[in-house]
Structure 1
Amino acid sequence: MSTEKYYGRDYWRSLAQRELSHDDAADSWSEFGTGPSAAAPRAGLLNVIGNKPAGDDPEESLSLADIAPDAVSRRRFFSVVGASAAFAGVTTTGCIRKERENILEFGSRPEDMIPGRAMMYASAVQIGATVEGLVVESQDGRPTKIEGNAKHSGSQGATSVWAQASVLDIYDPERTRVPVTSEGGGEPASSDMGSARAALTKLVTAAAASGGEGLGL
C-alpha cells in the first residue's frame, strides 16, 4: 500500500483488491477487518476512493488518521496482548501450592522387600545435555549399583562413568568408614574389624543367655 496521505484509485495492495467494490474497498484500510480495529469508515470515504485522483492538493486529501482515528495498529494490538499475557504469568506464578509430603521411616517392612534380595528400578539421569536410561539396583532401599537400560532408545544399555559414579552422591563423604567404639562413656575411638567382631560376638552371646533382656539396637 502507498505511503501517500490519501487513498486514491491508483493505489492497490494487490490485483484482488483492485477488483473490490467501493464498499469492500472502504473497509480494506482495516488490518483486522471486523476485528478490534474495525471502526466504521467516515462519511465521504467512498467518494474519496472512487473520485480522488493522484496529484490533487494534499491539504484537501483524506489521511488514514482521518479515515480511522480510533484504529488499532497490528503492532499496537499484539503489544497489548503480549503485555497482558506477561502480566498474567507474573501474577499467577506464585499461586502454585505443591502438596506437602513428609519423609517417614518404615513402621514395618514392605511385603515385597526381602532382606538380601535386590530390587531393580528403571530410572534416568541427566549428564550434560543428554539423558541416559538406567537400571538401579537397590538393597534395603539404598541404591548400590547402576547399569544401563537396554530398552532406553537413547543410551541403549550403555552408561558413562558419570552415571556409574552418580550413585555415590547419596552417601556422605564424611561418613564413618571404620568401626568406632566408646567404652565407659569416653570419647569415641577408631577400632579395627577384628576387635569390633570380637566385641559383638561377646555381646550377642551374653544377650542370648539372657533371652535378649537389656539389649537394644
Structure 2
Amino acid sequence: MSRAPTGTADAGGAVAPTLGVLQSPRDPPATLAPRVSATCDPSLTAGAMDKAREGSDTELQRKLDHEIRMRDGACKLLAACSQREQALEATKSLLVCNSRILSYMGELQRRKEAQVLEKTGRRPSDSVQPAQHSPCRGRVCISDLRIPLMWKDTEYFKNKGDLHRWAVFLLLQIGEQIQDTEMVLVDRTLTDISFQNNVLFAEAEPDFELRLELYGA
C-alpha cells in the first residue's frame, strides 16, 4: 500500500495540508458507473395493447364459430326429435345459441368501430392513457333465483279448470356474455319458480347491467 502526499510546501517552507487517498498499486483505476435510465416508448405500449386486443377478438371469434356449430347441431336434433321433452331441450338450445350469436356479432362490430375511431383520433402522447386508466373486470355469481307466481283464485284455491304445465327457463346476459338456467316444469300447485343452479359471469364490467329474460312453453 502507498500513501499519497499529505501536504505540499510553498515558497516560505510552510506545508499546506491536503487530503490523502489510500490505494493499492494493483487496484484498477476507479471509473464512474454510467447512469442508466429507462423510458416507456408509447409506440411499444400501443403495440402491446393492439396485440392483446387482437387476441381478445380472436377468442370472441372462436366462441362465435362454436355457437354456430352448436346451432347447426340443435337444428338437426330438433328435426329428428320424436318426444316432447327432447323437442323442448332442442328448442331451448337453439334459442340460446341464436342469442349468443347475435351478442357476439354485435360485440365484434362494436370493437371494430372502436378500433377505427381510436386509430383516427388517437394522438401519440395519449396512446398510454387507456392502459393506465382502464378498470379491471370482476366475477358475478347469481344463485337462488326465485320468481313469484300469481294465479287466479279459481285455479289455485278452488283447484278448478284444466291442469296446465309450462316448461320455463331463464336467460341472463351481462355485456356479450349470455348464460342460461336449467328448464323447470311449473303448474298451479307452485307459488314461485325456483332455479337451483348457480350462474357465473367471469368477466363483468364495473358498470355492468344484468338482463333477465324468462321463456316458457
Q: TM-score per shorter chain, which class?
A: under 0.3
Larger Rg: 1
Query: Which has a greater percent of helix?
Result: 2
Give the TM-score normalised by the residue count of structure 2.
0.23
